[in-house]
Amino acid sequence: MAEAEERSRTIVVDDKIHTWPHLVRGEFLVTIFVMVAMTLWSLLVDAPLEEPANPARTPNPSKAPWYFLGLQEMLVYFDPWYAGVVLPTFIIIGLMVIPFIDINVKGNGYYTFKERKWELLTFFIGFHVLWVVTIIIGTFFRGPGWNLFWPWQRWDPHKVVALTNVDLPYLVGLRDYWVQAGFGLFLVLLYFVVSTWLFYKWVIWIKGKEFMVRWGAVRFAITSFLFITMMALPVKMFLRLVFNIKYIMVTPWLNI
């Protein structure tokens, strides 16, 4: 026993190796490899250059740079103030708070799925499903009028798409302006209250009461708000694509 312990301690001491040459050598080789690849790519594929800028001629479709196409795709489901400003701000803040809301001490410095299932799944939904997939849709599946086209389909600028979207309050039969606005506000608040409650129950169920005590109210509030806000995007996509619902809440100032 004591001997095994002794041996493991020696291995610990041996764990460190000299940066020069072990790490520097690797960096050097990878640098050469990537530089060769970049040079070949740049020799073979030319950067695009279209006709001179003409503010009077708007191309259809006008696409943002590809890395922002996820945000542009979200404009289908949300208004610009939300999809273009508020949501990106939440994404940046949400990324920044990750180290502070994740109090799981396991999985620090090594690959593991088992020890951090839920953290990894959340990141997977946010990054791979929502961010990357919307970029792919925006890049390859959107044509003139921001209509959906298959990548192999001809872009028909005269494609007619029936505009059958309605606002949810109108759909359920409300006609009075202020009743509609009040109903929409109520639904949005209800979504957050119910989701927060479900999230609370779910965390208790998955991680236990003891975890919730350690996690604390502030961490819970921030995490649930960001998570529910993130999940509002697929919810809204679903409502739009299946029920043709445009807005949940309609007011003179902003629509959600």
48 binds other proteins (CB under 8 A): yes
Q: Quick one: which of 7, 63, 117, 214 contacts other proteins (CB under 8 A)?
A: 63
Of 40 and 194, nearer to other proteins (C-beta) is: 40
Closest contact distance (angstroms) between CB of 90 and other proteins is 13
Q: Quick one: which of 36, 42, 193, 206 contacts other proteins (CB under 8 A)?
A: 42
Q: Site map for other proteins, 206-245, x if CB under 8 A?
A: ----------------------------------------
Q: Quick one: which of 7, 36, 80, 117 contacts other proteins (CB under 8 A)?
A: 80
Q: Quick one: which of 15, 154, 175, 209 contacts other proteins (CB under 8 A)?
A: 15
Residues 6+ apart with CB under 8 A from 52: none
- State the residue for tokens 């849709």: 137
Of 201 and 214, nearer to other proteins (C-beta) is: 214
CA 85, CA 165: separation in Å to the nearest integer?
A: 24
Closest CA to 124 of 219, 228, 230: 230
10 binds other proteins (CB under 8 A): no
Give the torsion through C-alpha atoms of 139, 143, 148, 154, to 10 deg: -110
CB-neighbour burial class of residue 179 (10 A; exposed 0-12, middle 13-18, buried 19+): exposed
Of 68-76, 157-165, 173-181, 213-221, which segment contacts other proteins by CB under 8 A?
68-76
DSSP helix/strand/coil, 80: helix
Closest contact distance (angstroms) between CB of 32 and other proteins is 11
DSSP label at residue 103: -
Q: How many residues bind other proteins (CB under 8 A)?
A: 75
114-143 binders of other proteins (CB under 8 A): 116, 120, 123, 127
86-115 binders of other proteins (CB under 8 A): 86, 88, 92, 95-96, 98-100, 102, 104-112
Phi then psi for 49, rounded to 5 degrees? Answer: -145, 115
DSSP label at residue 148: B
CA 111, CA 106: separation in Å to the nearest integer?
A: 10
CA 32, CA 45: separation in Å to the nearest integer?
A: 20
Of 70 and 169, nearer to other proteins (C-beta) is: 70
